[in-house]
Amino acid sequence: MKISQLSKVTGVSARSIRYYEQKKLLAAKRLDNDYREFGEADVKRIKTIQIYLELGMSTKEILEILKCHDTYDAYSDDDGVCEEMLGAYEEKREEIAQQIQSLTAVQQRLDQRIEQMRARRLLTTATGGAPES
């Protein structure tokens, strides 16, 4: 299938497909007229790329994971383990844990500030004027 057909089937723009090819995430076969030719395996690969992008993975991380997909059937019940895939998952999990920790700290500071502002508002309303300094 041509790039326009692949785009329609996957819901991914032709521009993104070209970008995936540029980043070596996808390799199109070239016809004599230099048109790209894609197959059903490419549909599956693009869907896999989309999953990892949604998880927040970079194209570099995805490339390492896809190398594992190429070595092992990542969706089979095979006991094969790809160290790069495991490492990428662990790194992404740690990054997300750190982001959660940072966001939780920000949320706590916001909660404290909100409570301070509400208390001042109540004091202002109760005294009928500006709060005392």
Is residue 120 situated within a structural domain? no
Residue-wise pLDDT for 63-104, tens only, equals 988 888 777 665 444 445 677 777 778 888 999 999 999 999
pLDDT at 133: 52
* pTM of this structure: 0.65
Residue-wise pLDDT for 103-133, tens only, equals 999 999 999 999 999 999 988 888 876 555 5
Domain that holds residue 14: 3-93
| CATH of residue 83 | 1.10.1660.10
Residue-wise pLDDT for 25-34, tens only, equals 999 898 889 8
**DSSP letter string, 58-125:** -HHHHHHHHHHHHHS-TTSS-----HHHHHHHHHHHHHHHHHHHHHHHHHHHHHHHHHHHHHHHHHHH
